[in-house]
Structure 1
Amino acid sequence: MTFATGAIVANLYYAQPLEATLAEHFGASTGAVGAALTVIQVAYAVGLATVVPLGDLLQRRRLVVGVLGLTVAGLVVAASAPSLAVLGSAFAVIGVTAVAAQVLVPFAAQLARPGEQGRTVGTVMSGLLIGVLVARVVSGLVADWLGWRAVFVLAAVLTAVCAFTLWRTLPVVAPSVRASYPRLLGSVLGLVRDQPVLRLRMVYGATSYASFGALWTSIGFLLAGPPFDLSDAQIGLFALFGVAGALMARFAGRLADRGLTHPMTGAALASTAASFVLVWFGAHSLVVLAVGIVVFDLALQGCHITNQSVVFALAPEARSRLNTAYMTSYFVGGATGSGLSAALYAAHGWTGVVVVGAAFPTLGFLVWLGEAVARARTGFGLSPAAEASRS
């Protein structure tokens, strides 16, 4: 499940190191290519809202494999796209169906032993994060050697292999609810209404991931231009500095199991915002930029894993729907940051990207401060289960 989650979610990020190449191939502006990449994030948010809740209604193994078949079809279209418009349409299909990874994450939490939920989620999420990083590296290298279309051919083959393997190995678990699809979707809104802790975690996730969308949507343009002039392969390899985030995932899961979710969240949001100081100076130094990305990814994933550990403990029978609410807001934040980044880079360059990237986690930290004041009478560091009971 860890490997498959990484391989599936990688499909969302293969295009990021190819921004300059796609702009040149299709004769498009940086803004147009940035908008095409934003389509992936928006489509993923749509899939989170409409597909992931089915994990509580349908047999998860069958759902995951069926959705991955559509992902393969989208990747084949992307590999053969004659225009940027067709490529953007393929990106929409890929984005909606790549949510299969988010069906697997709550499935892993369901299968975890008591007291090890945070660690289990952290393990699966470490695979997801490594998939994000490897996607950029593989994309850059394959595009340099075989052309950008080969990237999506390789992705289609890998996704098909994962679908077959998951069908053969995943356990068959009966769905947790019996309801109509409209009622199921409505219950997601009910969870958001009834769970104040969920609402807070949605805010923390959305504001932190908006900074991710802002940074990685435009960094390819920065690295491809002067003074760096990096190739697609070099841009892809640069993403390896984000491996720190994958290493943080399991550590953050252990801290969550120990009940340190609240202070960890505040520290992560503050560090995410502060990392953009280094990212800004990195416009003239690859070393400084790399350090900034390491700090950024450590903080971002610390916040994300902590959020998921808390959210999955709120209502164990509704984990897919809880994940839907949280991850939909998460990727809406990412899509917002991505769209603003593309527009601001075209208008104001790297400084515009840094401003929007730092603003969102700063907003999240201010909300966290408000929560800290409200919690002052009861103390800090509640476990996920205790957080759930407070709702």
Structure 2
Amino acid sequence: MTQSTTLTKGTLWLMTIASGLVVANIYYNQPLLSLIAEDFGVGEFAVSKIPVMTQIGYACGLLFIVPLGDKVWRRKLVLFDLIAVISCLIWIYFSRDLWMLYVANFILGITSVIPQLFVPMAAELSSAQRRSSSIGMVMSGLLLGILLSRMFSGVVGDLWGWRMMYLIAVGLMGLTWLGIYKLLPDPTPNFKGSYSSLLHSVVTLARKHPLLRLASFRGAMAFAGMSAVFTTLIFHLEGPPFFVGATVVGSFGLVGAVGALAAASVGRFTRKWSNYKIIFAALLILLMSWAFTFGAGETYWGLIVGIILLDLGLQATHIMNQTDFFAIDPKATNRLNTVYMVSYFIGGSLGTLVASWAWQYAQWTGVCTVGIGFSVLALVAHLVFAKKVY
């Protein structure tokens, strides 16, 4: 086994690329929902449950798998997990009933937590001066995977049908497995206790550190707003005044990538600003994005500007949240990340579910109202509680 005490550029790039490819698996379905609904002969609300199941599964994986990164050899854990991911993708490809898609996507969510093993590894192996930039790079790969997966799956779905996307994903995961097997280092585990004591320590960390709880709430609310938009964007754009399909919807992932890449350099601002001020500015950008997404949401330019700002604010908040709580205990990075990311994806699931209901009753206006509400909650929590914990 290869042990490493430093983070090389090659390792950082491997984790960045692999994070994007793995996390993409749980977002391919969003631009394909209309195609899946047509194939199975069901309505929009029924297929909207697919991304909800995926995100709930992801939260479960964060809770029960990611803490193992502090206890077991991470390369073995990642390789085993990738085999499970490949199996789920094959299951989705062959699914013939909607319940099979629900179950397969739920398990796919559980097993697609590999990027959340890489982010703590990047923080653990980096110097304090490089921690924000290392986290930012891996998180950029993760967020680009989320955003570009929508564009890619939209194009593939329009050209060859939604099932072909999952066949392609199987091949990409096979290549990822080989790269991890040959190149990923294997830092020594930090936790020596039992699995039950490991999970109990996750709860203890959440209770003990108010900064971790605040970061978790901010992240959950911010991600809930983003999930609300991208779950219902396909329904918004296939109707008036746009009347477009999955390819155009997926291309908005490329638009959002502009904001994600811009946010990757947020760590540079720590030389001049406090973390409190950077997060405050990021949350203001997040709230500002709704002026375009909502106010000009019937135009392409309004949606483009809104989604760029949405992803910029979300990613900047996310990177600084993680910079904050990873500094609490360098020997518990995976467990700290578990608390945060479980909250984060519960927020995403909540945003997806509430937005689906809002779309049924108030269409795009309802969805944006939901998104604004989540963003306001994140900003208010920061203003009320942040100065007490910094």
Equivalent-residue separation in structure 2 for 1:283 and 1:114 (angstroms):
42
Q: Measured at CA, do residues 257 and 307 of structure 1 come closer, stay the same or move farther in structure 2, by a change above 3 Å?
A: farther
How do 1:165-180 residues align onto structure 2 when only pairs under 5 Å count?
165-180=179-194
How do 1:116-127 residues align onto structure 2 when only pairs under 5 Å count?
116-127=130-141
Count of aligned pairs between the two proteins: 376
Helix, strand or coil at the partner of 1:214: helix
Decide which moves more: 242-251 or 214-223: 242-251
- Does structure 2 conserve the Cα–Cα contact (< 8 Å) formed by 1:272 and 1:358? no
Structure 1 stretches of 4+ moved >3 Å: 256-259, 372-375
Amino acid at match of 1:344: A
Equivalent-residue separation in structure 2 for 1:84 and 1:331 (angstroms):
23
Question: Match for 2:85 among 60, 71, 75?
Answer: 71
Equivalent-residue separation in structure 2 for 1:95 and 1:367 (angstroms):
28
- Shift of residue 52 of structure 1? 0.3
Equivalent-residue separation in structure 1 for 2:264 and 2:305 (angstroms):
21
Asked if residue 344 in structure 1 is aligned to residue 358 in structure 2, the reply is yes
- Does structure 2 conserve the Cα–Cα contact (< 8 Å) formed by 1:210 and 1:336? yes
Helix, strand or coil at the partner of 1:282: coil
Asked if residue 285 in structure 1 is aligned to residue 299 in structure 2, the reply is yes
Asked if residue 91 in structure 1 is aligned to residue 105 in structure 2, the reply is yes
Equivalent-residue separation in structure 2 for 1:199 and 1:75 (angstroms):
34
Amino acid at match of 1:191: L
Equivalent-residue separation in structure 1 for 2:72 and 2:291 (angstroms):
46
Helix, strand or coil at the partner of 1:12: coil
State the Cα RMSD in Å: 1.4
How high is the TM-score relative to the length of structure 2? 0.93
User: Residue 235 of structure 1 corresponds to which residue in structure 2?
Assistant: 249
Equivalent-residue separation in structure 2 for 1:139 and 1:111 (angstroms):
34
Helix, strand or coil at the partner of 1:314: coil
**Gaps (5+ residues) in structure 1?**
376-386
Asked if residue 268 in structure 1 is aligned to residue 279 in structure 2, the reply is no
Equivalent-residue separation in structure 2 for 1:332 and 1:372 (angstroms):
22
Asked if residue 216 in structure 1 is aligned to residue 230 in structure 2, the reply is yes
- Does structure 2 conserve the Cα–Cα contact (< 8 Å) formed by 1:279 and 1:289? yes
Equivalent-residue separation in structure 2 for 1:258 and 1:51 (angstroms):
37
- Does structure 2 conserve the Cα–Cα contact (< 8 Å) formed by 1:202 and 1:330? yes
Amino acid at match of 1:87: L
Helix, strand or coil at the partner of 1:188: helix
User: Residue 106 of structure 1 corresponds to which residue in structure 2?
Assistant: 120
**Gaps (5+ residues) in structure 2?**
1-14
- Shift of residue 264 of structure 1? 1.3
Q: Percent identity?
A: 38
Equivalent-residue separation in structure 1 for 2:128 and 2:252 (angstroms):
39
- Shift of residue 311 of structure 1? 1.2
Equivalent-residue separation in structure 1 for 2:198 and 2:387 (angstroms):
35
User: Residue 27 of structure 1 corresponds to which residue in structure 2?
Assistant: 41
Equivalent-residue separation in structure 1 for 2:90 and 2:134 (angstroms):
33
Asked if residue 308 in structure 1 is aligned to residue 322 in structure 2, the reply is yes
Amino acid at match of 2:76: R
Q: Measured at CA, do residues 113 and 168 of structure 1 come closer, stay the same or move farther in structure 2, by a change above 3 Å?
A: same
- Does structure 1 conserve the Cα–Cα contact (< 8 Å) formed by 2:264 and 2:315? no
Helix, strand or coil at the partner of 2:294: helix
- Shift of residue 88 of structure 1? 1.3
- Does structure 2 conserve the Cα–Cα contact (< 8 Å) formed by 1:211 and 1:360? yes
- Shift of residue 257 of structure 1? 6.3
Equivalent-residue separation in structure 2 for 1:21 and 1:93 (angstroms):
22
- Shift of residue 281 of structure 1? 2.8
- Shift of residue 374 of structure 1? 4.1
Deviations 1:66-94 (A, max 9, x none): 11110110011111110221111111111
How high is the TM-score relative to the length of structure 1? 0.93
Asked if residue 45 in structure 1 is aligned to residue 74 in structure 2, the reply is no
- Shift of residue 107 of structure 1? 0.9
Deviations 1:40-66 (A, max 9, x none): 111101110111000000001111111
- Does structure 2 conserve the Cα–Cα contact (< 8 Å) formed by 1:123 and 1:249? no
